[in-house]
């Protein structure tokens, strides 16, 4: 009942998104056993290119071009920041969840997001940067997080819509990253994708229950889908014609599919699921195109996406203020922990 | 014979604790602590659900865990006042968790071996979780009590603020296999040991303040608002 894109692991590499995750995991296990290669700069570059060409993994021990390293730090950090900021819109409903079961599921989900942030910061740290530096760059605005988290969660149904649409879009974006060329990022993504697919099912189930509940609940579910549909489509980024980082990322096999290809895949996936949910996708021009074997649909408002990325979304200020407050409120705790650890080391030394 | 009120008291302590900790999403001093606090909240919520379900069955009036959590008013909540106190900073979170888990651990241990089969099964699971909560609270109390001057002062202030409510942990035997008053000795020994190692002073006894339970009223208003706005709806 949860949609047909998340087949079990036994479905094979073409049989579903989780099947693709399993195949990627096998490749990563093989990559972890390769040795380090030494040599002059030209030889190192040749080796790097050969590894990428052969669809193998670059590991922290390997030489890599500076731009590859910088691009990965930027992408992994933005992803990690998104997980951490992304705890806020949903977390605000933990205390108001309408049943104890839903409260438990939501708590576990928000906890997973903190965990995803941790794996991703750890993956970024293998590239020679610290978590503290990355957090500073988030707090002072030098690095960004996904603009989707700058939209508000107005009702309980938003928790369902975020799970179904936002986590659904995240999975479509992220499953190909399980096969990305940088080993530690790919490994982090494997675990994250498995958990995200769980979150997506939970969101779908919330919406299904609401849609088939009282008329007020149904209206609440439809309203949430109406508000989250286009921001979710915008999560795939600007159209291919305007995407600044895409070509190089594709060549380095960090990115595997274009923004527009992934957006199309997501729309095609949602249409059938919306039918089962009994909810309407708010696009009057959405229809099957038998020539393309895909749905035609209305593109999201990319001007709005750019405005939100630049800081002018409904909740940008609130999200950053919350993060900065948590960080500054916790300063005395972190200082105390460091002071205590130093005292313990002195005791051991004596 | 275990009474409904006895089980509700255990369940409400756990539920109100989970509700307070649930408000700490994305607000901990470290990301690891966000994970840990959510984990403890989930443990408390899990125990609360089992206990409220059992209380509903003992009552025999058809109330399930949600009816008991969402449709009782503040006057019918049986939790001790310690757990409903606000948590303005991380120091209070940790102090409260230490005081509570130093009670819950021996309580669940005793219940696990006592006569009520259902309570014994629930406590058998919860005692392992309480041991972890106590360990976590102990480690942080040590770090913060014996960390910097500021953290020492904050932790002492946290324990001082909560101290008037510790008697409530042991008050009243509502009719169950383990009398909470009998757990005081074990609790005192644990708490005094941890505070001593953390260079903190055990506060002098203070009487619990009287007056309306405004913190509980506010906590329940937030928790119950959505559920109550849609009578009879399924979620």
Contact A193, A174 (CB under 8 A): yes
| B19 to A95: CB separation less than 8 angstroms, yes or no | yes
User: For chain A, what is the mean pLDDT?
Assistant: 92
| A100 to B233: CB separation less than 8 angstroms, yes or no | no
| A88 to B26: CB separation less than 8 angstroms, yes or no | yes
Query: Residue A268 pLDDT > 80, yes or no?
Result: yes
Top pLDDT among A248 and B184 is at B184
Rounded to a whole number of angstroms, the distance from the CA of B119 to the nearest CA of chain A is 20
Q: Any alpha helices (H) in chain A, and if so which ranges?
A: 17-31, 41-53, 66-85, 87-91, 100-125, 131-139, 157-161, 167-174, 183-211, 215-234, 246-251, 259-277, 302-307, 316-329, 331-349
In chain B, residues with a C-beta closer than 8 Å to the C-beta of A107 are 18, 22, 25, 38, 41-42, 45
| A87 to B26: CB separation less than 8 angstroms, yes or no | yes
In chain B, residues with a C-beta closer than 8 Å to the C-beta of A336 are 143-144, 147-148, 150-151
Residue of A nearest to B89 (CA): A329
Contact B199, B146 (CB under 8 A): yes
| B34 to A114: CB separation less than 8 angstroms, yes or no | yes
pLDDT digits 0-9 by tens, B223-233: 999 999 999 99
Residue A188 in domain:
yes
Q: Which residues, 6 or more positions from A192, have their beta carbon under 8 angstroms from its beta carbon?
A: A116, A119, A120, A174
Q: How many CB pairs under 8 A join A and B?
A: 147
Output the pLDDT for position A205. Answer: 98
Residue of A nearest to B37 (CA): A111
Q: Which residues, 6 or more positions from A38, have their beta carbon under 8 angstroms from its beta carbon?
A: none
**Which of A91-95, A148-152, A346-350 bottoms out in mean pLDDT, i.e. has the lowest?**
A346-350
Query: Residue B75 pLDDT > 80, yes or no?
Result: yes
**A80 and chain B in contact, CB less than 8 A:** no
Going by C-alpha positions, the residue among A15, A21, A57, A55 that lies closest to residue A176 is A21
Q: State the complex-level ipTM.
A: 0.98
Query: Residue A10 pLDDT > 60, yes or no?
Result: no
pLDDT digits 0-9 by tens, B127-165: 999 999 999 999 999 999 999 999 999 999 999 999 999
| A103 to B52: CB separation less than 8 angstroms, yes or no | no
Q: Which of A92, A114, A332 is the closest to B151 by Cβ?
A: A332
Rounded to a whole number of angstroms, the distance from the CA of B109 to the nearest CA of chain A is 24
Burial (Cβ within 10 Å: 0-12, 13-18, ≥19) of residue B5: middle
Q: Which of A96, A214, A325 is the closest to B230 by Cβ?
A: A214
Cα-to-chain-centroid distance, residue A153:
18
Q: Which of A108, A156, A341 is the closest to B42 by Cβ?
A: A108
- Number of domains composing chain A: 1
Residue A195 in domain:
yes
**A347 and chain B in contact, CB less than 8 A:** no
Q: What is the CATH class of B4-229?
A: mainly alpha
| Average pLDDT value for residue range B161-177 | 91
Q: Which of A156, A209, A329 is the closest to B234 by Cβ?
A: A209
Sequence ranges of the domains in chain B: 4-229
Top pLDDT among A7 and B160 is at B160
Distance separating alpha carbons of residues A174 and A35, to the nearest angstrom: 28
Tokens standing for residue A217: 């609940």
Q: Which of A97, A216, A332 is the closest to B230 by Cβ?
A: A216
- B177: helix, strand or coil: coil
> What is the DSSP secondary-structure string of A3-70?
-SS---GGG-TTS-HHHHHHHHHHHHHHHTTPPP----HHHHHHHHHHHHHTT--B-TTS---HHHHH
**A43 and chain B in contact, CB less than 8 A:** no
| B25 to A217: CB separation less than 8 angstroms, yes or no | no
Output the pLDDT for position A11. Answer: 39
In chain A, residues with a C-beta closer than 8 Å to the C-beta of B42 are 104, 107-108, 111
Q: Which of B30, B70, B227 is the closest to A334 by Cβ?
A: B30
Distance separating alpha carbons of residues A111 and B32, to the nearest angstrom: 10
In chain B, residues with a C-beta closer than 8 Å to the C-beta of A105 are none
User: For chain B, what is the mean pLDDT?
Assistant: 97
Residue A282 in domain:
yes
- Name the helix (H) or strand (E) containing A296: strand A294-296
Tokens standing for residue A34: 């390769």
Residue of A nearest to B198 (CA): A340
**A61 and chain B in contact, CB less than 8 A:** no
pLDDT digits 0-9 by tens, A11-45: 344 457 888 888 888 878 777 766 677 778 889 99
Q: What is the CA radius of gyration of chain A?
A: 21
Would you give the DSSP letter of residue A151?
Answer: S
Output the pLDDT for position A138. Answer: 97
Distance separating alpha carbons of residues B232 and A192, to the nearest angstrom: 36
> For chain A, how far is it from start to end, CA to CA, in angstroms?
64
In chain B, residues with a C-beta closer than 8 Å to the C-beta of A97 are 226
Distance separating alpha carbons of residues A349 and A166, to the nearest angstrom: 51
Rounded to a whole number of angstroms, the distance from the CA of B41 to the nearest CA of chain A is 8
| Average pLDDT value for residue range A199-207 | 97
Output the pLDDT for position A35. Answer: 66
The single residue listed with the structure tokens 């030394």 is A349
| A332 to B223: CB separation less than 8 angstroms, yes or no | no
Output the pLDDT for position A15. Answer: 56
**A94 and chain B in contact, CB less than 8 A:** yes
| A98 to B230: CB separation less than 8 angstroms, yes or no | yes
Residue A327 in domain:
no
**Which of A38-42, B61-65, B175-179 bottoms out in mean pLDDT, i.e. has the lowest?**
A38-42
Top pLDDT among B115 and B121 is at B121
Output the pLDDT for position A12. Answer: 41
Residue A167 sits in which domain range? 17-313
**A324 and chain B in contact, CB less than 8 A:** no
Output the pLDDT for position A4. Answer: 33
> What is the DSSP secondary-structure string of A118-144?
HHHHHHHHTTS--HHHHHHHHHTTSS-
The CATH number linked to A169 is 1.20.1260.10
pLDDT digits 0-9 by tens, A121-169: 999 999 999 999 999 999 999 999 999 999 999 999 999 999 999 999 9
| A96 to B22: CB separation less than 8 angstroms, yes or no | no
| Average pLDDT value for residue range B189-218 | 96
Query: Residue B116 pLDDT > 60, yes or no?
Result: yes
Distance separating alpha carbons of residues B60 and B51, to the nearest angstrom: 14
Output the pLDDT for position A8. Answer: 35
| A102 to B66: CB separation less than 8 angstroms, yes or no | no
Q: Which residues, 6 or more positions from B200, have their beta carbon under 8 angstroms from its beta carbon?
A: B141, B145, B152, B155, B156, B159
Residue A278 in domain:
yes
Query: Could you tell me what percent of chain B has a pLDDT over 90?
Result: 96
């Amino acid at each position: 009942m949860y949609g047909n894109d998340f087949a079990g692991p036994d479905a094979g590499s073409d049989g579903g998104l989780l099947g693709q995750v399993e195949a990627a995991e096998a490749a990563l296990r093989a990559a972890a056993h390769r040795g380090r290669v030494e040599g002059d700069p030209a030889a190192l570059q040749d080796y790097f290119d050969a590894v990428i060409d052969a669809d193998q993994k670059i590991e922290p021990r390997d030489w890599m071009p500076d731009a590859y390293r910088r691009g990965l730090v930027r992408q992994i950090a933005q992803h990690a920041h998104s997980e951490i900021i992304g705890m806020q819109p949903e977390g605000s409903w933990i205390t108001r969840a309408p049943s104890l079961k839903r409260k438990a599921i939501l708590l576990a989900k928000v906890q997973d997001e903190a965990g995803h942030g941790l794996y991703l910061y750890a993956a970024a740290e293998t590239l020679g940067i610290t978590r503290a530096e990355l957090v500073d760059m988030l707090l002072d605005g030098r690095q960004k997080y996904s603009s989707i988290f700058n939209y508000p969660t107005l009702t309980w149904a938003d928790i369902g819509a975020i799970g179904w649409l936002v986590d659904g879009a995240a999975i479509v974006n992220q499953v190909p990253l399980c096969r990305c060329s940088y080993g530690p990022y790919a490994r982090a993504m494997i675990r994250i994708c498995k958990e995200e697919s769980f979150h997506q099912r939970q969101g779908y189930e919330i919406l299904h229950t609401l849609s088939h509940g009282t008329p007020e609940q149904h209206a609440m579910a439809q309203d949430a889908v109406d508000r989250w549909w286009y921001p979710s489509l915008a999560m795939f980024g600007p159209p291919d014609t305007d995407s600044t980082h895409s070509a190089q990322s594709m060549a380095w096999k960090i990115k595997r599919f274009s923004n527009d290809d992934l957006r199309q895949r997501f729309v095609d996936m949602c249409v059938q699921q919306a039918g089962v949910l009994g909810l309407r996708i708010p696009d009057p021009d959405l229809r099957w195109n038998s020539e393309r074997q895909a749905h035609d649909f209305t593109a999201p408002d990319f001007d709005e996406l750019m405005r939100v990325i630049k800081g002018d979304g409904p909740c940008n200020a609130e999200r950053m203020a919350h993060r900065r407050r948590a960080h500054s409120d916790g300063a005395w705790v972190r200082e105390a922990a460091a002071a205590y650890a130093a005292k313990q080391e002195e005791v051991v030394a004596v | 014979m275990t009474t409904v009120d006895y089980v509700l008291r255990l369940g409400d302590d756990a539920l109100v604790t989970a509700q307070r900790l649930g408000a700490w999403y994305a607000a901990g001093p470290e990301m690891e602590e966000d994970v840990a606090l959510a984990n403890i909240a989930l443990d408390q919520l899990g125990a609360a659900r089992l206990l409220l379900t059992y209380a509903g069955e003992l009552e025999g009036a058809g109330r399930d865990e949600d009816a008991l959590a969402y449709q009782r008013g503040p006057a019918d909540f049986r939790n001790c006042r310690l757990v409903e106190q606000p948590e303005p900073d991380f120091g209070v979170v940790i102090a409260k968790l230490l005081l509570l888990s130093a009670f819950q651990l021996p309580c669940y241990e005793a219940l696990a071996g006592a006569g009520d089969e259902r309570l014994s099964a629930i406590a058998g699971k919860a005692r392992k979780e309480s041991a972890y909560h106590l360990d976590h609270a102990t480690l942080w109390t040590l770090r913060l009590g014996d960390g910097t001057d500021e953290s020492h002062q904050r932790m002492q202030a946290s324990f001082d603020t909560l101290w008037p409510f510790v008697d409530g942990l042991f008050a009243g035997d509502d009719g169950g296999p383990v009398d909470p008053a009998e757990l005081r000795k074990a609790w005192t020994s644990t708490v005094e040991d941890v505070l001593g190692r953390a260079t903190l002073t055990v506060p002098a006894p203070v009487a619990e303040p009287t007056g309306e339970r405004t913190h509980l009223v506010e906590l329940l208003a937030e928790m119950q608002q959505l559920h109550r706005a849609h009578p009879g709806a399924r979620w």
